[in-house]
Amino acid sequence: MARPALRKIDPTLDLAGHLVTIEQIAAGQRAAPRDVDALFARSAPLEIEVGTGKGMFLVAATGQRGDHNFLGCEIARSYARLAASRLVRAGRANGIVVQGDAARLFREILPDACATAVHVYFPDPWWKQRHRKRRVLKAPFLADIERVLKPEASLHFWTDVREYFEATLDLIAQTTSLLGPLAVPEHPAEHEFDYRTHFERRTRLHQQPVYRAEFRRCAAAQR
């Protein structure tokens, strides 16, 4: 299903401090490859979101955990710009959106054991059997997630598609040494936008299930 049209971004907003492309990082135009701290001009625990979408998680999380750096990755340029604009308007200096392919970001840019958490919320399920090879959570990408996580750091995976959830849990068990799945309780929303993403909000408001799991890297890296 095609994504809906987005509202226009205020053209006077300066997105430069909150939006970067993978090509700029790879070319050394915005920090050196594998030097993530330099993007934020400070050293802090790093959390990474795969598939930033409209930026709901990034804006909330950067406000809740101001002592952490948050790097979101979004392949669609219009959505990456929207998420970055929301970080600008919220004054979140600890949030940056990378526009580009998350698989490349993990494979080519992110160093070993750099992240305290990786968040993957409601990735595209690619419903048709012939399209499932396009799903982001495949064995090579999961291996890179495990490599990027610090010991005892967490992978958070949520989806509203039971088949995708069960297939991914099986794949994680078969191809990684991550510990889990750990149960993640559902908390009542305290206000209208007290959700991780717009997809979670829509799913729960329609009283449909959300499947959640957390995995952790071993305390002593074994791979």
Phi/psi at 163 (5° precision):
-60, -45
What's the farthest any 2 CA atoms get from each other in the chain? 49
Task: Name residue 142's amino acid.
Answer: L
Alpha-carbon gap, residue 103 to 81, rounded angstroms: 19
Does the annotation mark 35 as catalytic?
no
Angle at 51 between CA 144 and CA 5, to 5 degrees: 155
Using an 8 Å Cβ cutoff, are 120 and 142 in contact?
A: no
Using an 8 Å Cβ cutoff, are 122 and 199 in contact?
A: yes
Listed in sequence order, the residues at least 6 apart from 14 whose beta carbon sits closer than 8 Å to its beta carbon are: 88
Q: Convert 113-142 to b/e letters by CB count within 10 Å (16 or more is b).
A: ebbbbbbbbbbbbeeeeeeeeebbbeeebb
The one catalytic residue among 10, 35, 124, 160: 124
Residues catalogued as catalytic? 124
